[in-house]
A and B are shown apart, each in its own frame.
Chain A
Amino acid sequence: MRMRGWWVWFGGTLLVAADAQAQEDLKARGWAAACAACHGTNGRSEGGMPSIAGRRADELYQILIAFKQDRKQATVMQQHAKGYSDEQLRRIAEAWARLTAGGAK
C-alpha cells in the first residue's frame, strides 16, 4: 500500500516534469530573438558576428557570462551581456540551444 502510493507520486512527478520540458520557455524565446538582429534568424549569421546555431547551452552560457564579467574581449557584447541577470543569460543560452539543436533550421 505504502509502496503503491510512492509509485503514484513518482509517476505524477515524471508527468509534470515532462510537461514542463515540453512547454517552451516563451519568455526566453522572446529574449533570445533580440540576438537574431545581429546573429541571424535562427542564429545563422551572414558574416561578421558569429553564428549561434547548433551550439550547446552550457557553451553559450559560459561565453555570455565571460562577456558579462569582462573576461572575454568584445566590441559590444561585454556591454549587452551586462543588461541581463545570470539566470536570464542561462535561459537565453538554453533557448538558443533548443531552437537550433543538431544544427537544423
Chain B
Amino acid sequence: MNASRRRALQALASAGLASLLPLRASGAAGARVVVVGGGFAGATAAKYLRLWDPGVSVTLVEANREFVSCPVSNRVIAGTMSLRDITRNYDGLTAHGVRVTHDTATDIDPVKRVVKLGRGESLGYDRLILAPGIDFLYDRLPGLESAAARAQVPHAWKAGDQTMDLRKRIFALRPGGVFAMHVPKAPYRCPPGPYERATMVAFALQRANPRAKVLVFDANPDVVAKRDQFRAVWESRYKGMIEYLPSAELAAVDAAAQTLKLEAYGAVKADVLNIIPPQAAGPLARRSGLVGAGGRWCEVDFLSYESKVAPGVHVIGDAVGAAPGMPKSGHMANQHGKVCAAAVLALLNGQPVNDEPIIINTCYSFVGEREVIHVTSVHRYDREKKTMVTVPGASGVSPQPNAEEGYLALAWAFNILNDTFG
C-alpha cells in the first residue's frame, strides 16, 4: 500500500467514513507484513493475518524447513514418542497464502522499514512482527565457551537434534549411572519443562536402568512450576531415584570430565550432563536494540505487542518480557500471535486496537507413560497497570496425575500444532 493511499484511508477512518468503503477493500489490502521466526508465535501470527484478511501480503522468514515442537519433546527423550510426531513443515502456511522464505533475517532498519536477509534479499514492510524465540547465554557458563565443550553437554531446550542426542545419552547410561541436570534462574522458556524432563528421564530409567540416579540442580530456591504436583510424584513414584537440590548456582562446568561446579554443593561428577542455559530474546532482537533493562527481553505494549522502543515493530513469543504470571510457553506464544495479528490489521485499517485482550495458558506435563498434570491460567489486560494480569480464580492444576489428561495432552499437542501450522 502506498503512503498516499494509507493517508487517504486514515483520513476516511478518522472522519468516520471508513464504513462506506466496500468490505474487502480494507486499508490492509496490499499492506506488507513481514514475520520473522516460524515457531508457535510467528507461524500463528502469519496464519491468522491471512485468515482474517486475505488482502494483506504476509512473508514469513524462517531459517529451518521444519519446525520441531518443544512441548511433548520430553516424551521423545524418554523414548515414548518419535521426533517425527512433533515435527511440522510450512506447507500449511503456504496454503493460507503466506509467502515462506527459508532464510535468516540479519538486520532491521525500523526507519526505512526494511528487513535484510542473509542471502541478500531486502523486504520492505508496513508492519514487522518479530518472533525470534530464545538465545542461550553461554557466556554466563564458564567452561562452556567453546563449541566443542557445548557439544558434550546437550541443552535439548530447542527441540531437534539436541533432543535425540540427549535421548541417546540417557539410554546409553551405564548401569547405576548418574544423570544430572541444571535449571537456570527464572525466567526461562517453559517453567515446568525442566521438572517434567527430570520426571520423564526417571520414568525411562526406572525400566531400563533402575539403579540409576537423576540429580536436579536448580538455580531457583524451589520448583518454579507445579511444585506440589511434581514433589508429590517424585515422592510417590521416583523416591530414591530423583534427588532435587535447590538454590544450586552454577559456578562452572568441566565438559570433558562431565562435572558441575556448584556454589552450594561443590563439584559433582555425572555420567550424563544436561544443562539448560540461561536465556534471552533471540539474537536479532538483542542486536537491534529491542531489549529492555537487563538486556534480555523485549518490552512491548500488550494491546498490540508493538515494541516500546521501535514503532512499527512488534515482538511476540518467548522473546517478550512477560507480564507477571505469564509463562514463556508455546501456548502463550500462539495466543500472542493472534492478539498481535488482530492488532496489526486494526492498525493497518486505521481501526481501534482491541483494548481488552484476554488470553489463556494451558500446560500439560507428563509424569509417566500416560499420566499428566496440568496448569491453566487466564490473563487479561489491566488498563490502569497497562500490563497483563492473571484473572483471580481462573487458574488451576490437576488434583493428581491422571491418564484422561494424558490423552488430552496429546490431543492438545496435535490441535495446537494444527492451529499454528495447519
Interface residues of A (CB under 8 A from B): 19, 23, 26-27, 29-31, 33-41, 45-49, 75-76, 78-84, 88
Contact = CB atoms under 8 A, between A and B. Distances in A.
B360 A46 contact: no
B419 A80 contact: no
Contact of A40 (B342, B351, B415): B415
B25 interface: no
B359 interface: yes
Given A48-B414, A75-B404, 8 more contacts: A26-B354, A45-B411, A46-B415, A79-B394, A80-B362, A80-B376, A80-B394, A82-B391
B19 A33 contact: no
B338 interface: yes
B216 to A, nearest CB: 27
Contacts of B279: none
A23 B419 CA distance: 25
Interface in B388-415: 391, 393-396, 398, 404-405, 407-408, 410-412, 414-415
B37 to A, nearest CB: 18
A31 B378 CA distance: 11
Given A33-B338, A34-B335, A23 B19 contact: yes
B408 A75 contact: yes
A26 B342 contact: yes
A49 B412 contact: yes
Interface string B123-160: 00000000000000000000000000000000000000
Given A33-B48, A41-B419, A48-B412, A76 B335 contact: no
Contacts of B395: 79
Contact of B415 (A29, A31, A38): A38
Interface residues of B, number: 44
Interface string B21-62: 000000000000000000000000001100110000000000
Contacts of B393: 82
A29 B331 contact: no
A27 B356 contact: yes
A45 B415 contact: yes
Contact of A49 (B19, B358, B408): B408
B205 interface: no
23 contacts: A26-B354, A27-B356, A30-B338, A30-B339, A33-B338, A33-B342, A38-B362, A38-B412, A40-B415, A40-B419, A41-B47, A41-B418, A46-B418, A48-B408, A48-B415, A75-B408, A76-B396, A79-B376, A79-B395, A79-B396, A81-B394, A83-B380, A83-B394
Nearest to A79: B396
Pick the most buried of B19, B360, B410: most chain A CB atoms within 10 A of its CB. Answer: B360
Nearest to A33: B338
Contacts of A33: 48, 338, 342
B357 A30 contact: yes
Interface of B: 19, 47-48, 51-52, 331, 334-335, 338-339, 342, 346, 351, 354, 356-360, 362, 374, 376-378, 380, 391, 393-396, 398, 404-405, 407-408, 410-412, 414-416, 418-419, 422
Given A30-B338, A38-B412, A83 B362 contact: no
Given A37-B362, A76-B396, A79-B394, A27 B416 contact: no
Listed from nearest, the 8 A-B pairs whose CB atoms lie closest are A48-B411, A83-B378, A83-B394, A79-B396, A82-B394, A83-B391, A33-B338, A79-B376
B393 to A, nearest CB: 5
Contacts of B408: 48-49, 75
A29 B412 CA distance: 21
Contacts of B414: 46-48
B280 to A, nearest CB: 26
A36 B377 CA distance: 16
Contacts of B376: 76, 79-80
B124 to A, nearest CB: 27
Contacts of A30: 338-339, 342, 354, 357
A38 B358 contact: no
Contacts of B335: 34, 37
Given A26-B354, A75-B408, A76-B374, A38 B394 contact: no
A34 to B, nearest CB: 5
Nearest to B399: A75
Nearest to B390: A83
A49 B411 contact: yes
A88 B395 CA distance: 18
B75 to A, nearest CB: 16
